[in-house]
Structure 1
Amino acid sequence: MDPLSKMGENEWVMNVNEELENMGDSSTEMEQWKKRSIYRVPSSVTDLNKRAYKPQSVSFGPYHYGDPNLKSMEENKQRALLHFLKRYKKPFECYVEAVMGIVEDLKHAYGSLDHKWHQDTLGFVKMMILDGCFMLEILRASTTEDGDMGNAEDVDDYASNDPVFSKHGKLYIMPYLKRDMLMLENQLPMLLLYTLVAVTKHENDPHQHDEELVNKMVQKFCSPYTRVAKKGRCLHPLDIYRKSLLWENPHHKKKTLTKSYHRLVIEEGDEIVRSATELYEAGIRFRKSRTRSLKGISFEGGVLKLPPVMVDDATESLYLNLIAFERLHVGAGNEVTSYIFFMDNIIDNARDVSLLHSQGIIQNAIGSDKAVAKLFNSLSKDITLDPDSELDVVHKQVHSYCRKPWNEWRANLIHTYFRSPWAILSVLAAILLFALTIVQTVYTVFPPQ
């Protein structure tokens, strides 16, 4: 064997043995994995739709830092930092010290951090503070009406023609910033935002976090039409957005299926649910849920209830990044993925979209029903449904209902003869005429004495 190869082999063996000696138990590994929450999306996923995962206007965090296409926004970050410092009147050193105190936790939040950031801690802190303050300024300018993060009179302290923070910027720039803010590769840890806000309020104790205040600002900006509820400590803005989509009013939660019924349904097979049009023809009616939560899908008494959903130009990117987060973050859950899987099953073409739109379930803001159908069909590529999810039970309930011949016969009767008042009158008239014919026949055969 080549002496150089032998030396390399010995060095490798020594390194592996050293790592083995320093290796902790499973609990140590678990704590290490728990720190990660922001990931690079694998190329096998991004290749299907690269634009959906790549920021177009601004970079937050290390993954897209220095992208030439995003550099134009960097000068706005510096200006936002100065406004931030001027408004809250706390020494800049306080923010630097506070972020330095959590810098290792911030680094560990990223799943695959370039080696240069481990070597350049000061550069990493600088990036975190600039990006964090810029994000907080975006949130404050877009959502704060009562001065939650400062004096009310200082809320509009930017120039009236500021390219980002003026009324013009809020109308034309903020929607694109929001889209980029909700991309998995473009996240900032909420710990960073909690800490920066804590310095503005508790300079002597930056660990005294006002978590719900920051959570509320993120939710109002990213999901303004969902009810604000306490969420506790969150991972990043995309995590908050996801939780807002899944929040259910405790008073409106659907009943939990019993285990025995769950087993009964599962035994009937794993067939895919038919399209909305086919379900309608099988006698299933569609209704809008009382909740906007994506978990608000239920089936009972031949009625399938679905939450209303707005479909616009940002929908595709949002759902793809939520699906990627659930796929990459262990313990995140699979509710969004299950919802998309279910919607793809019941939406095959424009007729299905039209049917759901007529019931107020789909609100179409992108144009044709065909485009909406194509969107849902594309979202479900390369995803897997958890067999233990609640929606899997709904799948099987619907399939079980469709398998009963009586339900389909009744549906055909209704669709054929009771589509309109005139059809109903015709049927009633035919029944009356038939009854009179029978009576006449009886009187003919058996004349009264």
Structure 2
Amino acid sequence: MSSNPIQNFDERQWIINIRRTLEEDQLENETEIPVCIFSVPKTLMSSDPVSLYTPQEVAIGPYHHLRPELYEMERYKLAAARRAQRQFYGEHKLQCVVDQLKELEPQIRACYHKYLKFSSETLAWMMTIDASFLLEFLQIYAMKDDKLPATSSSLSISHLVDYAGMKAAHNAILRDMSMLENQIPLFVLRKMLQVQYSSSESTDYLLQAMLIGFCEGVSPFKMKKNKPMIQASESAHLLDYLYNTIVPKAEQRAAITGIDDQEIYSDDSKRFFTELWKLLSKMNLSRPIKFLFKLPCFMLSKIPGFSILAQPVENLIFPQDNEGNKSDAERSPSNKHMNKPPLVEEITIPSVTELAKSNVRFLPTVGDISTVSFDAKKAILHLPTISLDVNTEFVLRNLVAYEASNASGPLVLTRYSELMNRIIDTEKDVELLRENGVVLNRLRSDAEVAKLWNGISKSIRLTKVPHIDIVIEDVNKYYNSRWRVKCWKNKKLNVFGSWQFLTFMATVMLLLLTALQAFCSIYDCRKHHHGSSYD
């Protein structure tokens, strides 16, 4: 007899929540708080290992609170709550925090994508205990570089040392804290600290120090020291704060400025070459000229005085190959094509090894994803330094899942992951990036790093990220402009890829062999050959 899921629905509690919400006129306030804690999209859950998105040690928040295998950590969470209560200012107890969180119940529920079937009392106690554990754990990172304010000097740190000393358990808890479904709102943490400390300034300082220390410890990217600080009030939860440090909200930076090659020659020159090309086409001379331009020996752009003419001539002869020469303004987000979903062909890029053979160099940058760039003149691809350890895959995948669930615009981190996925195919690619300082490998081998990037799933939806797409376009343009690549592509397309050509060559060879056989049968080549030997 199968169980009916409707039977598990608590009608009485649902009616109580609806009545309280309507009577207290909280609907308007709830709409001001957007959903920020989601379930992992089913597309990712079905294609990736479930353990990458499901906590294995500790449940933070309501989504995984009732899982029996996580009950063992409940006693540690209660111990953290007792220690937090001893540090409260004055006569405050945990019940004081619970009472204040019950008043914030509509806002707390509004943060979660799923309906929470817990009662008001249960939800408030759950948030209080989980916040106690989370704040205690985060103090490990706030203690670094003396980030704790003076008011917290009375904190006992013996239990924090125990957390830090158990490296395996520490990493497991760290992974669970970074998961999308294992989050609680930051305003709950702030409310807990407000009760714990009398000074509002100390509360904000301590919470900020915890968040910064946590991001420095778990972020795969090395942040700039003078980077503008992201305020805790600007982020919804721990994972959201980490996401904002890697992908700033102002990521849509201005396109790379510079003088486009097409701007060198005037409109009169354009019209002249256009009319000349029309005349040559009428005289059936266009195809021989195209063939001439494809020859490696034709180096018009290298001849002194002809470099200005090279670009307009090539634009006329090979217009499809010069789409990448558009100005950055034309390739900006305002362009109508930027708003269209990208085609599969538009997100291809050569691997690191292939780019290195074309004299492309790789230089590391310090900062977030916005530092990705390509200098075509110097053939340098700038990539942010990324440190890869046992937690990196968990962090990256949950950040990508959060971006896919939360973002209505471009999936910036997803696009960066796809870029790294495509330029890293083998451990040789990882080795080159590691030798150039782009990848800091703390895993067992370069093969594991290659497996990590190749295992990241494709995005849930295709998207365009202007600044990264311009880099991909410029890299492809540079790579395809190399004579070695051009020759190989032409040979592959026109020779090896042409069944007509191969059929013609086979027919010619067959005719030659048939003619040779006929000649030998008439003149008896073998006898003539032996006779000439005796002579």
Shorter-normalised TM-score: what interval? 0.7 to 0.9
Question: Does the CA-based 8 Å contact 1:344-1:380 persist in structure 2?
Answer: no
Q: Percent identity?
A: 26
CA distance in structure 2 between the aligned counterparts of 1:34 and 1:98, rounded to whole angstroms: 18
SS at match of 2:109: helix
Question: Does the CA-based 8 Å contact 2:411-2:465 persist in structure 1?
Answer: no
Instruction: Describe how 1:400-411 pairs up with structure 2 within 5 A.
Output: 400-406=477-483
The change in CA–CA distance for 1:144 and 1:88 in structure 2 (over 3 A counts) is farther
Partner of 1:127: 126
The change in CA–CA distance for 1:54 and 1:386 in structure 2 (over 3 A counts) is same
Are positions 1:308 and 2:310 aligned together?
A: no
Specify the code of the residue in structure 2 equivalent to 1:338: R
Specify the code of the residue in structure 2 equivalent to 1:180: D
Partner of 1:13: none
Partner of 1:322: 399
Question: Does the CA-based 8 Å contact 1:320-1:379 persist in structure 2?
Answer: yes
Are positions 1:200 and 2:193 aligned together?
A: no
Cα displacement (A) at 1:189: 0.7
Give the number of aligned pairs: 373
The change in CA–CA distance for 1:147 and 1:392 in structure 2 (over 3 A counts) is closer
The change in CA–CA distance for 1:166 and 1:271 in structure 2 (over 3 A counts) is closer
The change in CA–CA distance for 1:358 and 1:141 in structure 2 (over 3 A counts) is closer
Question: Does the CA-based 8 Å contact 1:57-1:176 persist in structure 2?
Answer: yes
**Equivalent residue in structure 1 for 2:369, among 287, 294, 301:** 294
Partner of 1:214: 207
CA distance in structure 2 between the aligned counterparts of 1:142 and 1:230, rounded to whole angstroms: 16
CA distance in structure 2 between the aligned counterparts of 1:94 and 1:218, rounded to whole angstroms: 25
Partner of 1:99: 101
SS at match of 1:287: strand
SS at match of 1:60: coil
CA distance in structure 2 between the aligned counterparts of 1:45 and 1:396, rounded to whole angstroms: 28
CA distance in structure 2 between the aligned counterparts of 1:352 and 1:222, rounded to whole angstroms: 28
Specify the code of the residue in structure 2 equivalent to 1:220: G
Specify the code of the residue in structure 2 equivalent to 1:326: E
The change in CA–CA distance for 1:141 and 1:309 in structure 2 (over 3 A counts) is closer
Name the stretch that deviates more: 61-70 or 138-147: 138-147
Cα displacement (A) at 1:138: 0.9
Partner of 1:175: 171
Question: Does the CA-based 8 Å contact 2:372-2:468 persist in structure 1?
Answer: yes
Specify the code of the residue in structure 2 equivalent to 1:293: D
Cα displacement (A) at 1:295: 2.3
Unaligned runs of 5+ in 1: 1-21, 23-27, 411-449
Partner of 2:14: none
Instruction: Describe how 1:323-342 pairs up with structure 2 within 5 A.
Output: 323-331=400-408, 334-342=411-419
Name the stretch that deviates more: 175-184 or 364-373: 364-373
Question: Does the CA-based 8 Å contact 1:35-1:105 persist in structure 2?
Answer: no
Deviations 1:86-105 (A, max 9, x none): 11234124312321221111
The change in CA–CA distance for 1:112 and 1:265 in structure 2 (over 3 A counts) is closer
Instruction: Describe how 1:294-443 pairs up with structure 2 within 5 A.
Output: 294-300=369-375, 301=377, 302-331=379-408, 334-406=411-483
Instruction: Describe how 1:147-166 pairs up with structure 2 within 5 A.
Output: 148=148, 151-156=151-156, 158=158, 162=159, 166=162
Specify the code of the residue in structure 2 equivalent to 1:294: I
Cα displacement (A) at 1:166: 2.3
Are positions 1:55 and 2:125 aligned together?
A: no
Unaligned runs of 5+ in 2: 1-21, 258-326, 488-535
Cα displacement (A) at 1:314: 1.1
Question: Does the CA-based 8 Å contact 2:351-2:423 persist in structure 1?
Answer: yes
CA distance in structure 1 between the aligned counterparts of 2:427 and 2:28, rounded to whole angstroms: 49
Partner of 2:236: 235
Cα displacement (A) at 1:222: 3.8
Cα displacement (A) at 1:362: 1.0
The change in CA–CA distance for 1:273 and 1:222 in structure 2 (over 3 A counts) is same
Cα displacement (A) at 1:137: 0.9
